[in-house]
Structure 1
Amino acid sequence: MESKKDSKSIGKLRFTLQNTQNVQLPQLEHSLVGLCRRRTSAEMISEAKTFLTDVSPTTNTTTNHNQAASGMSSTNYLCFTLSNTLLLSFLVGGVRVVSTRRPITPRETGRVLYGKVTLPGRPPSAFSKILTRSNDLLGQSSTEKLIDMLKEHAGLKECTEETASHINSILTELYNRVRKNEKHFKKGFILGGLYGLVESSSAKILLAVARVVLALRVSGSNLTGACKLIFKVARSEQNDYLFYDSDLLELLIDGLGRASPLEDPEACIYGYGSIRFLTCSTVQERAELTTIKDFNRNWSEQFELPRKPSTAPNLGEGHTLQTDKQQKEFVEKLSKQDALVVRLSRHGAVQLMILHLQMLNEAGATQKLNGPPLHSLYQLSAALRALADVRQISSSLEQLENPNFNTTKIQLELACPHLVRAAEVTIGEIEVQANIVRTLSVLSEDPDCCHILTNFAGRIGMLLGPCCANFKSNQAEKLLSLISRLGYILGNIMAKYDNARIQFYHNDVAMEYLLNILEIYSKEPLTLHNSLGDTVVDVLIKMIRVLANMSVNSEVGFGLGNAQSLGNILMILLKASQQIKSIKMKQELQELTHATLGALHNLCFYQDKITSTPAHVIESKGSLQSVLSDLAAQLCSILKTNRDEVTQTEITRVLGNLTRNEKARKSFCKSKGLKLVVEILANDATRHLYDLKACTIGILVNLLGDMENRLPLIQLKGPEILLELLRDALQQHSDWFLATIISQAFWNLFIDTPHIEDVCSEVTLDELSDILAEYLDEEKILKNYNNESLPQMWEDFAIVSTDLLERLQSNYDQQSDSIVSLEASDFENDEDDVYIEGM
């Protein structure tokens, strides 16, 4: 319907047009009524196109009308003009006719253009999305514009956080485009805009620049520059978090894959140096981890071998971290470092390092390495060590929490042969060689790596040769670190693999070098050390442990007993470690004493049958076989004066093996060793020390094998002490092992004695018989074990105790026979008696 306003307008128009000429009122009125309704945009556009097509004819008509109106009056002309204007206006329908051509604006250098492809100087459309200063805005900028924006900040050093964030956003957008292989601009153009930012103090900017450079797959000096930036940031521990959620490490490995340690050594130096920094621990953490990793203690755990000293902490024990917060932070950091190591290994870092090792070894085989290639080898080996260290520590902690944990293998064992070769190639370069050997020492703790190194034990021992030759040079202090770690590697190998013990022993040259090192450093002051903290004591400990673990093998142990100077060396070390009274070195000297005693324990085990040197065997000067008597006397002297319980136990352990040799027994007893043994057993303060008590009884068993030692034992009331120990072992603890060796001591005491009653009192013999009879009652003992099978230790006790009880019983029978014969003799003589008859 028409509105009232529209009706009035039409009425006015009708009145005006009535006074005009050449206008058809009915038709015009019909058109006007149609125009008053609301039309669609499509209808309006269609009418506008129709109007624009008819503009020219209409203009000509207007001209003719002007000519015709020349004869009109002013009033009639005004009405005519008004009618034409209104008619055109209603025919168009209110559409303004404007030019669709945009105005041309001048290009402004500081104005940001929008869109990936934009015409120069084109402003944003009114219908475009309003963009903010973010990656959305940068994403619509051209690469050329991004580079120009970076160039505006060229030479930037210090900047605000907002500026750093803006530059980092630009670099991130640029990196995303480069990763998509956009080739709109050349590498040189992009690099030119990047290197203006390398002096920035912002770690984020430096890493973002390095990401873009590495994404361009550069090589040569450009690759070296990117590695330098990463190295600069990675040196600070505070920047480690920047690498955790970034693909920078993968880009770095890809970049190092395009480098050669011979042609691009600096790129390898900074690249592997960055990996080393990101995966290494701080000094404080390293000190805390020594208790967890249990360095230097590599005894071979086998029967009749030295046990680990009680001072040596087990895996996972030791000093606790200061606070729970520090422990939590340490574990979190370690887990993140371990994640980095796994990422690197999955991206082929270990294989790349091995390839570079091979290249350096091949070059070093023909020409001595020096300069940057030698330094790249240093950093490469250090990076491998850092990877192995993090992996082992993390796995150890995981296994403590979950014994069934399966660690992720990163195949570091593949690098072992090449590292051994690298150590051979770098002979003469003490620092580099020591660093390589240090890496091997860490790898030797891993079971897989140690198994591989078994085949190279002889070659590792040969590395000791140049150390002997350069002992008097100006590099003597640096040699301490190298020799110490070589000894640690060999000790780990000898602790596990018997074939390695035999192969190394039969390598005459390697054995000679090993004994030479021991002889040289045994004559040096034990207080000598270098600036790195390596000491002569540490060198001696490592080398002695190599011998201790080698002598587990019977062939090697017996053969080392006749090794020249070895006996003298061990006695010198025992004497020196007891004479120095340094509080600072107390722990080191104690460890040296225990290591020496451990080696003697193994070696003396195989010298028990040697009473005198056979005629066809020439006794080596200073060998262990030649000093057994002196050694027994020296150990007796140390046992008298030393008050350390662990040391006393270790000495008695050695004497337990040593006193099986006749010469050693005589020397020990001559030094009043029997009296010392009885005093230890009678001392209530030492009875709670089980190992000390058991070893001391073992010594007594050996000493009682000689007839001349039995009477002194009786005079010292030894039988009564042994009976008390037997009673305590059986009644209080049911200790079958201790009861067995005590019974063996009684057996040795009684075996050749014609009249036992002359050795022990009747009360002692009766009580001994009762105790043995009671605990040999199998039915009674079975009740204590709920009628289950008896332990093997009881079976061993029963064998010895049964013989002992029979020996006592036979003595009683002899006494009874003697009494009966005496009574019969008295009865026969009664006939000769004189009786006084009653008065």
Structure 2
Amino acid sequence: MEPNKKTKERPFYEAPSNLPTSSKIINEARTSLRSLKTKRPFTPRDENRTLFGPSSSRAPENRPPSAFSLGARHFDGSDSRPVSGTRLTPLEHTRVHGPLIEDKTSSIHTPKPPLVGDFEGQVLPPKPPSDPNRPVSRKGSGHGRSRLQHSNSVDSFSTAGEVTGRSRTGSIGEECTIKETNSTDRPRRVHSGPKERTENVSVEERGVGDGKECPPRLASAAAVRSPPTSASKDGESRAGSGGSKRSPGDAAETPEEKFFYTQHIGPLVEEMLCLSKKKDTERISELADSLYIILHRENLLGRNCKKRSHILKTVFKLLDAEEPKVLLQLAKIILALKVSGNNLTNVCKLVFKVSRNEKNDQEFMEGNVLDHLVETIESLDHTSSAEALVYCVGSLKFLSGNMSLAKLLVKKGGVEALSRLLTAGNRSNTENNKASEQFGNILVQLTAALRNLADVSSSREKFLSGGVVEGLCKVMEFYAQDSDIMLNSSRTFSKLTLHTDCCNALSEQRGCFKSFLHLLNKHLHKEDLIVRVCFVLGNLTAKNEFARSELFQEPKSLDTLLSVFKTYLEKGIKTTEKSNEGEDAKEIREVSKYEDVLIKVVRVIANLSISEDIGPFIASSQPCLHLLLNVLDNKDESSSEELVLNIMATINNLSFYPVKTSAIMAKPILVAESLFHIMKLVLTQNMEAMIECARVFGNLTRQKTVRDYLYKKKICEVMITLLDSGSREVVYVACGVLINMMADEEKRPVLKREGGVNKLLEVLRDFGKTDWQLASMVCQVLWNYSGKINSANACFGDPQAQELSELLVEMLDEEAAMDVSVNDEMEEEVRCIVHDMWKADFCPVASQLLHRIDSHQSKFEPLEPPP
């Protein structure tokens, strides 16, 4: 059957529409569409550990201070103030209507009905102080006052008929033991305000703290009426709110508890009080460690210890010590005893103060103070304990900057604790439909701590399972205007999205792409934030088609990316001009920052263009092409290598789509000129840049005008030279350009003249049997080259034609070909792919080329036509 004369010969660079190959996707990925890689933006290490950095957007008056004075005087010995910090309302003051009588059905004493003349000589009780924590004056005496017999030691207890009250001299909360001297005379109390009246000798009067032996405690006081008490929200008894609930410390101690305290805890406490805070730090450290061990062993931590207030008062008095190790041991005891209110805030400040100096990091490695920090974060409410959380989480921020401590924190549940705090704050913001400024201060520390913990490889699973990714997306919605929080969040995402599972998890978060684009618009001129957001978007779009679609479908997404592109290109050009004039080091650094943004945003555009649905739209964007070529015209490849390579890769991806609206196909010569200029500069210096140029030329040379332009620029000679490179990828892209160039008859002689046929045979012999895609490309070059063949020997050369024929016969033998191509170590799936490439890519063109050579074999070369 004669071939249809009307059928036009089809060059191999045009894929047959009716014969799709199974390796088409692989082939296209190798020759054209590619995602780009880049390094993560450099994150400078915080030289000075501060609560809020010097570049913070927060005004000093709207944030807790990083520096403060702190000592023993700042701690309240009673630890009885409510967590909220609100002061208790004083009791109303009324006249006492006669002497008190005992209500036998209740422990509360009630007044007798007034008798005629009973008001004579009565006076009002003293007015309570405005500060409920200030002791009431001990002048005078009330009704029913009885004398009390005190034990000789602060740690001893009375036995029969004793009741436990609160000493109202000195600091509130110190427990004292009062004992009735007459069993028939029960202690009676008067309405004297929120403070009990008791006589007590201060610690200083007893000589404690001066290094001398502590004398027995001497004091006498009247038994007075206890003020009403109530439990605070954390369970500690509070004065002035009713008397239905009491803390464990208010209950009477058993003889066994009294004996244990006297024998084991009391001596430690008393010795600690007698030591010098500056001279005896080593001994204080030993005692503090022993005290913690005993309390922990006997389950007396938290609020379980009856002498908790007395222990706390002792520890507080030692907080003027300067040794970091001692301060941390004391802070550990305070945290373990579950203080609240100002004491909680101050102990968190204390730990924060120690953690600011990285020389103290080793002290946090020892003991279990990290456990208590994590436990404190988990137990606190972000609204009522906001300031304490700022300093507590701030400490974790500093400590997690040390990789050893970061790993330890991950093991101790630091990620989970921060995640729960993050979730609680987001829930509160959602319920109130607004962002809390207080929680914002916490978030600055929290997001920075997460940023550090993300460097620990074992933390990734905890980030995913703990809802950190989802939580940070919520934070972007509420705090988009807060550049401090957004910078930390973007740094965390830039680390997490280096991993595919985290990319998938983030892409599935509803609204995350909208939030990222909003950040680009909101903080356009903050390059440290913009560069990280673009890096994250580049990671998300590198391998995930769903992410590409979601990002591009957001309104004006391409416009936003091009706005970032244009802004930082203009900044870079202006700054470069200034630096060239004065060679200012600062301006040179700024150019580097701007260029890093360009690298990241160009990468996003390149990755988006991989999508067959999105690519044609971007390829049709004239502003996008203009910006890409502008970079090539203004950037030197030697100093801006990564940026130039990314630009060329992006142009390559866009040139893959030969749509009618393509901006590249509308101006192919303009693009070819820019790329050829780059190729001349890097001809022998940068092979990677050469490959990128060749890839674009492989797409552009589908147009005859481009082939003619490049032929005049001797691009064929350059590609033939590259066949000797020894690199499979270089040879591959060089073949791609030669396939198209050999489609024109007038350009074919250059291949033989420059030794291209011999070089192609060498490539086929050296690489063909282990790279069927490359072997197919070589055959396509030779097929197009021999389009007007009359004699195989005349076309390829006598020995070359014979060698090519024998080589093709061998490579088309399936058993022989697969015996070389596959090996026993290959997985079955890989073996199938290799066989598929051989059969679908190589065999069709190789068999036709072999048939052409065999059908034109002749020992005689045709005569040259007469002149």
Q: State the Cα deviation string for residues 87-136 of structure 1 (Å, max 9, x = none).
A: xxxxxxxxxxxxxxxxxxx9998x998999999999xxxxxxxxxxxxxx
The verdict on how the C-alpha distance between 1:153 and 1:496 changes in structure 2, with shifts beyond 3 A counting, is: farther
Q: Distance in 2 between matches of 1:384 and 1:348?
A: 11
Equivalent residue in structure 1 for 2:449, among 372, 383, 386: 383
Partner letter of residue 514 of structure 1?
Answer: L
Q: State the Cα deviation string for residues 426-471 of structure 1 (Å, max 9, x = none).
A: 3333233212222222233344432231134864455445644665
Partner letter of residue 235 of structure 1?
Answer: R
Matched, 1:495 2:529: no
SS at match of 1:435: helix
Conservation of the 8 A alpha-carbon contact between 2:415 and 2:450: no
SS at match of 1:179: coil
Equivalent residue in structure 2 for 1:214, among 335, 356, 370: 335
Equivalent residue in structure 1 for 2:325, among 197, 204, 227: 204
Conservation of the 8 A alpha-carbon contact between 1:243 and 1:249: yes
Equivalent residue in structure 2 for 1:719, among 738, 757, 761: 757
The verdict on how the C-alpha distance between 1:679 and 1:270 changes in structure 2, with shifts beyond 3 A counting, is: same
Q: State the Cα deviation string for residues 485-510 of structure 1 (Å, max 9, x = none).
A: 10111112112321121122122322
Q: Distance in 2 between matches of 1:418 and 1:194?
A: 38
Equivalent residue in structure 1 for 2:807, among 755, 759, 771: 771
Query: Match of 1:635?
Result: 675
Query: Match of 1:453?
Result: 506
Shift of 1:171: 5.3
Rg larger for: 1
Matched, 1:646 2:646: no
Shift of 1:244: 4.7
Shift of 1:179: 1.4
Conservation of the 8 A alpha-carbon contact between 2:672 and 2:706: yes
Q: Distance in 2 between matches of 1:469 and 1:345?
A: 32
Equivalent residue in structure 2 for 1:672, among 705, 714, 718: 714
Q: Distance in 2 between matches of 1:628 and 1:465?
A: 35
Q: State the Cα deviation string for residues 725-751 of structure 1 (Å, max 9, x = none).
A: 434446xx7654433221111101112
Query: Match of 1:593?
Result: 644
Shift of 1:522: 1.9
Equivalent residue in structure 1 for 2:413, among 339, 344, 347: 344
SS at match of 1:665: helix
Q: State the Cα deviation string for residues 604-653 of structure 1 (Å, max 9, x = none).
A: 2223xx4xx3xxx5x6xxx4444432222322232232011222233323
Q: Distance in 2 between matches of 1:174 and 1:547?
A: 62
Q: Distance in 2 between matches of 1:232 and 1:787?
A: 63
Bigger mean CA offset, 569-578 vs 373-382: 569-578
Conservation of the 8 A alpha-carbon contact between 1:249 and 1:344: no
Q: Distance in 2 between matches of 1:158 and 1:425?
A: 51
Conservation of the 8 A alpha-carbon contact between 1:269 and 1:379: yes
Shift of 1:344: 1.5
The verdict on how the C-alpha distance between 1:262 and 1:605 changes in structure 2, with shifts beyond 3 A counting, is: same
Query: Match of 2:306?
Result: 184
Q: Distance in 1 between matches of 2:299 and 2:775?
A: 83
Shift of 1:349: 4.4
Conservation of the 8 A alpha-carbon contact between 1:260 and 1:356: no
The verdict on how the C-alpha distance between 1:381 and 1:519 changes in structure 2, with shifts beyond 3 A counting, is: same
Equivalent residue in structure 2 for 1:556, among 611, 614, 625: 614
Equivalent residue in structure 1 for 2:316, among 195, 199, 204: 195
Matched, 1:256 2:392: no
Query: Match of 1:516?
Result: 563
Partner letter of residue 400 of structure 2?
Answer: T
Conservation of the 8 A alpha-carbon contact between 2:155 and 2:261: no
Partner letter of residue 654 of structure 1?
Answer: V
Q: Distance in 2 between matches of 1:693 and 1:744?
A: 13
Matched, 1:812 2:857: yes
SS at match of 1:184: coil
Conservation of the 8 A alpha-carbon contact between 2:302 and 2:336: no
Partner letter of residue 645 of structure 2?
Answer: H
Q: Distance in 1 between matches of 2:845 and 2:860?
A: 23
Q: Distance in 1 between matches of 2:699 and 2:412?
A: 53
The verdict on how the C-alpha distance between 1:191 and 1:722 changes in structure 2, with shifts beyond 3 A counting, is: same
Conservation of the 8 A alpha-carbon contact between 2:609 and 2:618: yes
Q: Distance in 2 between matches of 1:168 and 1:381?
A: 33
The structure showing larger relative contact order (alpha-carbon pairs under 8 Å, at least 6 residues apart) is 2
Conservation of the 8 A alpha-carbon contact between 1:562 and 1:625: no
Conservation of the 8 A alpha-carbon contact between 1:158 and 1:200: no
Q: Residues 593-742 of structure 1: matches in 2 within 5 Å?
A: 593-607=644-658, 610=659, 613=660, 623-642=663-682, 643-681=685-723, 684=724, 687-729=725-767, 735-742=771-778
SS at match of 2:621: coil
Partner letter of residue 267 of structure 1?
Answer: A
Partner letter of residue 639 of structure 1?
Answer: M
Partner letter of residue 740 of structure 2?
Answer: N
The verdict on how the C-alpha distance between 1:554 and 1:279 changes in structure 2, with shifts beyond 3 A counting, is: same
Conservation of the 8 A alpha-carbon contact between 2:434 and 2:478: no
TM-score, normalised to structure 2's length? 0.61
Conservation of the 8 A alpha-carbon contact between 2:355 and 2:361: yes
Q: How high is the sequence identity, in percent, across the aligned residues?
A: 28
The verdict on how the C-alpha distance between 1:244 and 1:506 changes in structure 2, with shifts beyond 3 A counting, is: same
Query: Match of 2:481?
Result: 428
Partner letter of residue 504 of structure 1?
Answer: L
Partner letter of residue 384 of structure 1?
Answer: L
Question: Unaligned 5+ residue runs, structure 2?
Answer: 1-148, 161-176, 180-214, 217-258, 577-585, 825-830
Shift of 1:774: 4.5
Partner letter of residue 812 of structure 1?
Answer: Q
Q: State the Cα deviation string for residues 543-595 of structure 1 (Å, max 9, x = none).
A: 1221222222111112210123111222222333326x5xxxx4xx2222232
Q: State the Cα deviation string for residues 378-423 of structure 1 (Å, max 9, x = none).
A: 0011122223222x2x57xxxxxxxxxxx86454561223312322
Query: Match of 1:746?
Result: 782
Q: Distance in 2 between matches of 1:499 and 1:662?
A: 37
Query: Match of 1:300?
Result: none
How many residues get paired?
600
Conservation of the 8 A alpha-carbon contact between 1:441 and 1:485: yes
The verdict on how the C-alpha distance between 1:664 and 1:523 changes in structure 2, with shifts beyond 3 A counting, is: farther
The verdict on how the C-alpha distance between 1:433 and 1:549 changes in structure 2, with shifts beyond 3 A counting, is: same
Shift of 1:777: 4.8
Conservation of the 8 A alpha-carbon contact between 2:700 and 2:706: yes
Shift of 1:351: 2.0
Q: Distance in 1 between matches of 2:674 and 2:759?
A: 26
Q: Distance in 2 between matches of 1:787 and 1:569?
A: 48
Conservation of the 8 A alpha-carbon contact between 1:261 and 1:360: no
Q: Distance in 2 between matches of 1:375 and 1:595?
A: 39
Q: State the Cα deviation string for residues 120-172 of structure 1 (Å, max 9, x = none).
A: 999xxxxxxxxxxxxxx996447666555444458x34644234323443455
SS at match of 1:565: helix
Q: Distance in 2 between matches of 1:532 and 1:342?
A: 40
SS at match of 1:199: coil
SS at match of 1:253: helix
The verdict on how the C-alpha distance between 1:260 and 1:721 changes in structure 2, with shifts beyond 3 A counting, is: same
Q: Distance in 2 between matches of 1:464 and 1:787?
A: 49
Q: Distance in 1 between matches of 2:701 and 2:612?
A: 18
Question: Unaligned 5+ residue runs, structure 1?
Answer: 1-105, 123-136, 283-332, 396-406, 820-839
Q: Distance in 2 between matches of 1:457 and 1:511?
A: 19
Name whichever structure is richer in helix by fraction: 1
The verdict on how the C-alpha distance between 1:409 and 1:639 changes in structure 2, with shifts beyond 3 A counting, is: same
Shift of 1:720: 3.9
Q: Distance in 2 between matches of 1:218 and 1:651?
A: 68
The verdict on how the C-alpha distance between 1:467 and 1:496 changes in structure 2, with shifts beyond 3 A counting, is: closer
SS at match of 1:524: helix
Partner letter of residue 648 of structure 1?
Answer: M
Conservation of the 8 A alpha-carbon contact between 1:541 and 1:592: yes
